Structure 1
Amino acid sequence: MAGTGLLGIIVLCLLAFIGSTHPQLQMNFYAKSCPKAEKIVRDYVKDHIPNAPSLAASFIRMHFHDCFVRGCDASVLLNVSSGEKNAVPNQTLRGFDFIDRVKSLVEAECPGVVSCADILTLITRDSVVTIGGPFWKVPTGRRDGVISNVTEANTRIPGPFDNFTTLHRLFSNQGLDTKDLVLLSGAHTIGLAHCPAFSRRLYNSTAPGGVDPTLDSEYAANLKANKCKTPNDNTTKVEMDPGSRNTFDLSYYTLLTKRRGLFQSDAALTRNSTSLALINQLLSNPLKFFYAEFAKSMEKMGRINVKTGSEGEIRKQCAFVNS
């Protein structure tokens, strides 16, 4: 019996050792293999995002959608006929050409070294910082995935009409909690949305007038009169945070408490006592508190099911797997 116990301890120690030696993300992963990589990304972002600040919101959304499907492996960037780009939540994503240009600059400096997954993660952080938003640490060492599946994207990415139960389940599936849900939803403080993402709240509700009763009536009337005049308007874009869409601030949460969250998923955050308490906590603290907490959740999201070591590959072009 004693011998068996000793053997068990040895096996556990061996497993712990193997687990500890598995490659992990780390700060300055490319310090030796491509020391200028992060500066190349940062400089390009600083030069171009001021001319297109709305791309900051696009990159947060793209990074978010990527990480929720097979982890943060840049699978959303692949041009595949049945790939993630074709999923309903991803059909309005933009900025792919921006990523391709950054990738080409990094490849010219260090061919086959820096992953598209790391480039997307760095671009997201740097673009938010460039428009005056929070900074967060981006440990690197991600590898690129080789599979992109439209069905997985359609079922795993939270949608604008989801209720709290669905949102909580989809976030929990990725190791994220209610606090992360509230904080990451705060990214809606910047950016635009297309009418079909919320027009159901204006025209298809069973309530009188067809308007969702959880949406402020004055706000709804303004949207119907001046923005989404028809429910199927696919061209008009609407600010998710009216009057503050290029400023990373707390006004998104203030609007939620006034029933002026644009999406059903926004309103859902006020229907749960835990998430509502978190919203009120953010509003009762200085902006820097939100920045610090948002940074933690972004770094946490950026670690979802990452591929490291010999997993996946380092794509030569972000839109295609290596031949």
Structure 2
Amino acid sequence: MAMKNSTISALIVFLALLSSSHFSYGQLRLGFYNETCPNVEQIVSQVVQDAFSKNSTLAPLMIRLYFHDCFSNGCDASLLLDGRTSEKTAPPNLSVDGYALIDTVKTAVEKNCTGVVSCADIIALATRDLVNLASGGKARYEIPTGRFDGRVSSALLVKLPGPEMSVSATFKMFEDRNFTITDMVLLLGGHTIGVTHCSFIMDRLYNFNNTKNSDPAMDPNLVKELKKDCPQNSGENKRINLDQNVSSSNIVDASFYKQIKSRRGILKIDDLLATDAMTKQTVTDFANGNDFLARFGQAMVKLGAFGVKDKSTGEIRTSCRSCKNLLCVA
């Protein structure tokens, strides 16, 4: 389906705003550190590029870290804080990774600009750079900065959509955070790269809804392929690509949407996006190549503006793993 003129116009306006040094998103703005740490983005980009050249799996790891941090309690790096009851300890966050990269970036930034740049902004910038690298340089977006680091981190505050939830229940969580249904489809499109594990899909393969059969919504050929990688009662918990297009599973592109339209979604929520009346047309539009990369960047910018802290409610940490008063983990 051809892209509507209104969509084209909106995209042009958005990109024009992003190209302007005066662009702002609430308290956030492009060039926030122009005077206090003018080369911060270059520092972040260099560290990230070096790390990505050695380990391309950092891209999906950081997209997930960014989403998990922002969606629960706002983009405030509270997920980075260590502690027995911090956000890291919540079940959905136990498999989150990428912390070492943030530590490395933070160290490099602190050497140049001590106590100036927030860990929350470092997450946003590092994620932006990794998305661009994983797209082959096709998904560059500008993201405003000016976030402060949160002073509270509690596993009890973690609220994230689960892979088995319905589209309507998932959207309710997004809507409560002022995201649109299109925002949701775009952000879940982050599954264009990354993996899950056999343990998360065994029910779909062997006992869907306690029927002792596979999920009828999944392509039967895919079921056969996955059963080879995930044999029943196996102690091995292999990794499974979320995008089943082998040539594209590590590239940020629209391939994911084509796969789920072909009933080749790995997670249940991914399959549902392609069939639910609320989302299937949007999935079709992106599968047909309608500006996914540009729109994904927009959604990531919008996500990055959710629940940000200001000077009165946050701080600038010198270590991303501990807050200044050492009492921030509830």
1:61-93 deviation digits (Å, cap 9, x = unpaired): 100000111100001111021111111211111
Is structure 2 residue 204 aligned with structure 1 residue 201? Answer: yes
Structure 1 match to 2:156: 151
Which residue identity lines up with residue 140 of structure 1 in the other structure? Answer: T
TM-score scaled to structure 1, two decimals? Answer: 0.87
Is structure 2 residue 253 aligned with structure 1 residue 245? Answer: no
SS in 1 for 2:204: helix
TM-score scaled to structure 2, two decimals? Answer: 0.86
Structure exhibiting the larger radius of gyration computed from Cα positions? 1
Determine if contact 1:196/1:231 at 8 Å carries over to the other structure.
no
1:218-267 deviation digits (Å, cap 9, x = unpaired): 21121112x22236857311111121221112211111111110001101
Q: Equivalents in 2 of 1:230, 1:75: separation in Å?
A: 38
Structure 2 match to 1:272: 276
SS in 1 for 2:150: coil
Is structure 2 residue 79 aligned with structure 1 residue 79? Answer: no
* Structural RMSD (CA): 1.8
Q: 1:23 to 1:280 in 2, by over 3 A?
A: closer
SS in 1 for 2:275: coil
Is structure 2 residue 105 aligned with structure 1 residue 102? Answer: yes
Q: Equivalents in 2 of 1:284, 1:235: separation in Å?
A: 34
Q: 1:118 to 1:213 in 2, by over 3 A?
A: same
Structure 2 match to 1:117: 120
Structure 1 match to 2:142: 137
Q: Equivalents in 2 of 1:25, 1:80: separation in Å?
A: 29
Which residue identity lines up with residue 71 of structure 1 in the other structure? Answer: G
1:2-56 deviation digits (Å, cap 9, x = unpaired): xxxxxxxxxxxxxxxxxxxx97101010110111111100111112212211110
Determine if contact 1:72/1:117 at 8 Å carries over to the other structure.
yes
Q: Equivalents in 2 of 1:87, 1:224: separation in Å?
A: 30
Structure 2 match to 1:89: 92
Is structure 2 residue 278 aligned with structure 1 residue 284? Answer: no
Select which of 33, 36, 59 maps to 1:33.
Answer: 36
Determine if contact 1:161/1:198 at 8 Å carries over to the other structure.
no
Which residue identity lines up with residue 93 of structure 1 in the other structure? Answer: V
Structure 2 match to 1:297: 299
Unaligned runs of 5+ in 1: 1-21
Q: 1:195 to 1:90 in 2, by over 3 A?
A: same
Q: 1:261 to 1:96 in 2, by over 3 A?
A: same
> Residue 207 of structure 1: CA displacement?
6.9
Q: Equivalents in 1 of 2:271, 2:235: separation in Å?
A: 22
Q: Equivalents in 1 of 2:233, 2:70: separation in Å?
A: 31
Determine if contact 1:50/1:130 at 8 Å carries over to the other structure.
no
SS in 1 for 2:60: helix
Structure 2 match to 1:12: none
Determine if contact 2:26/2:305 at 8 Å carries over to the other structure.
no
Is structure 2 residue 32 aligned with structure 1 residue 45? Answer: no
Q: Equivalents in 1 of 2:285, 2:84: separation in Å?
A: 44
Q: Equivalents in 2 of 1:36, 1:81: separation in Å?
A: 36
Which residue identity lines up with residue 306 of structure 1 in the other structure? Answer: V
Q: 1:231 to 1:81 in 2, by over 3 A?
A: farther
Count of residue pairs brought into register by the alignment: 297
Percent identity of the aligned residues?
A: 37
Structure 2 match to 1:258: 262
Unaligned runs of 5+ in 2: 1-24, 326-330
